[in-house]
A = this chain, B = another copy of it.
Amino acid sequence: MNAIGKRTTIDDLAKSLGLTKSTVSRALNDYPDISEATRLRVRHAASVQNYRPLSHAQAIKTGRVRSIGLVLQVSEHDGHRPFLANFLAGITEGAALHDWTLTLATASSTTDTIRLLEKLSQERKADGFILPRTYLQDRRIDALRNGHVPFVLYGRTEDIAECAWYDIAGETAMQEAVAELFRLGHRRIGFLPGGEGYNYTKLRTEGYLEGLAQAGLSQDPALIGPNAVNKQQGADATQKLLLQSEPPTAILCSVDHAAIGAYDAIRSCGLEVGKEVSIIAYDGVPEGAVLNPQLSTYAVDTKHAGARLAELLIRRVRGEAAQTLREIGNARFLDRGSHGPCLLTSNDLAALIKLKSDHREE
């Protein structure tokens, strides 16, 4: 840290070397018309004198502030909230590799988000943006695409024109989960979709259906619950699925938080999670490890996602084509206690639920 008012400028550095600032600048930025000897001499002096160019002074000519923009929508149901620290760590570390930083803002609505994206890009607080939690139809994407502002999606979307992205293959996870449950003997497998309008909801649902198809199981609308993204909705949806004439013996949840509610619903039917009813979910939130039994779920490496997104965005800003900047990763299955072999047929399960229910009413 420099003493107050003692910062060394490029002029100071140049003077101390007997060069002009233009030479120094070119030496530091690896221009080819600077001799190797001079380049080394300049680098050394810069390091000794602890010279660091002011990023905004550079930006005025280069047009780049070397900053990634991220606008978080906090009102939103936030499955990713628990991962936020990791996500941000991933982004900042990925950014640091290229000497970039992260500029963060929070918004309360989509309209507010777009307002901030415009403001931040016009004031050049950021050179481009990472858009988390993409929708099938995403107004943020339209706005940025329209304004020719570089961006990268965390997730995919419907209209992929000009879009770069990193995403986790949630559809693959759901498909595998169905296969696993089928292997364990389950024949009626329920499904709770995620948030309305999100792209991931569509993909995970497709994965579930594809899994059924591959297992040779027929689709049954009665097995697909309403959207559920939190504890309450998860509990309600699960209860609805269980109180049917042919209830599922296993339920697949698009998000962990819904699964937490599913636990409650299953218990209040007098059943045990992982025994009479199996649960597999997706996300890998920390609460899952506190549950009893621990939640079997597909965990996402959010930190790695952040790092990849940073890398992709920087390359996008530097001019690479969006089409060449698209990556997909996989979730990792945490095989824990909330799922197991199918113990009862659907009919027996229905009978048991009815029995317990009648018993309670007496």
Q: Interface of A with B (CB < 8 Å)?
A: 1-4, 7, 50, 52-57, 59-60, 65, 67, 72, 74, 78, 81-82, 84-86, 88-89, 92-93, 96, 101-106, 117-125, 143-144, 146-149, 260, 286-287, 290-291
Contact = CB atoms under 8 A, between A and B. Distances in A.
9 contacts: A1-B146, A4-B147, A55-B123, A72-B85, A82-B82, A84-B88, A101-B105, A103-B103, A290-B291
Given A89-B106, A104-B104, A105-B96, A56 B53 contact: no
A105 B106 contact: no
Contacts of A120: 101
A54 B65 CA distance: 11
* Among all A-B residue pairs, the 5 with the closest Cβ atoms: A1-B147, A56-B56, A56-B59, A4-B148, A52-B122
A69 to B, nearest CB: 9
Contact of A147 (B2, B59, B123): B2
Given A52-B122, A53-B123, A74 B65 contact: no
Given A84-B85, A85-B81, A290-B287, A103 B106 contact: no
B101 A103 contact: yes
A119 B52 contact: yes
Contacts of A57: 56, 60
Given A78-B85, A103-B104, 16 more contacts: A1-B117, A1-B122, A7-B122, A52-B119, A55-B124, A67-B103, A74-B85, A74-B89, A88-B104, A88-B106, A96-B105, A101-B105, A101-B125, A102-B103, A287-B287, A290-B291
Nearest to A117: B1
A119 to B, nearest CB: 7
A119 B81 CA distance: 29
Nearest to A289: B231
B123 A52 contact: yes
A101 B82 CA distance: 23
Nearest to A93: B106
A121 B1 contact: yes
A132 to B, nearest CB: 12
A287 B50 CA distance: 46
Nearest to A74: B89
Contacts of A106: 88-89, 92-93
A104 B106 CA distance: 13
A287 B54 CA distance: 43
Contacts of A65: 56
Most B CB contacts (10 A, CB to CB) among A54, A86, A147, A286 go to A54
B89 A72 contact: yes
A22 to B, nearest CB: 18
A361 B343 CA distance: 32
A54 B119 CA distance: 10
A59 B65 CA distance: 12
Given A104-B102, A147-B3, A54 B123 contact: yes
A92 B291 CA distance: 33
A143 B3 CA distance: 11
Contacts of A143: 1
Contacts of A84: 84-85, 88
